[in-house]
Amino acid sequence: MSDKASTTVGEKIRAIREAEQVGRQEFSDLTGIPKNTLIRLEQGRNAPSGRVLMQVTQAFPQYTMWLMNDQVIEEAGQVSPEIERARKSLKQTGTDTD
């Protein structure tokens, strides 16, 4: 996987949001994280609390392992945003195997 371990949690949250193709307001609505908090997290101005991590993983459980420890287990449904973007790209081009 090309995602580097030094990626901040804020960068990871942004990567999840972008892979899911949602804007900040929709992500805020889906997770319950205030939009201003989300902006500060993504910009690296705030460190996420345990509550924020729970909110993200409850809304997007498929990214839990990647968000918490940079690991993916595709066969268990645990993916990275990079993998999810590739899947969506394949579906858009009609070359997926599902």
pLDDT, one tens digit per residue, over 61-89 is: 999 999 999 999 999 999 999 999 998 88
> What is the three-class DSSP state of 91?
helix
* Residues 32 and 60 sit within 8 Å (Cβ to Cβ): no
In a domain, 46, yes or no: yes
Please report the pLDDT score of residue 97 as a whole number.
55
Q: What proportion of the chain, given as a percentage, has pLDDT over 90?
A: 81
Position 3 in a domain: no
Contact 55, 64 (CB under 8 A): no
Q: Is residue 98 part of a domain?
A: no
In a domain, 31, yes or no: yes
Q: Rounded CA gap, 94 and 81, in Å?
A: 20
Residue 17 token pair: 């949001």
Q: How high is the pLDDT of residue 22?
A: 97
User: pLDDT averaged over the chain?
Assistant: 90
Tell me, yes or no, whether 74 lies in a domain.
yes
Express each pLDDT in 7-47 by its tens digit. Answer: 899 999 999 999 999 999 999 999 999 999 999 999 999 99
Query: Is residue 84 included in any domain, yes or no?
Result: yes
- The pLDDT of residue 1 is 42
Q: Where residue 26 sits, what CATH number does that domain have? A: 1.10.260.40
Count: domains in the chain? 1
Is the confidence at residue 98, as pLDDT, over 60?
no
In a domain, 2, yes or no: no
Domain that holds residue 33: 9-93
pLDDT of residue 42: 96
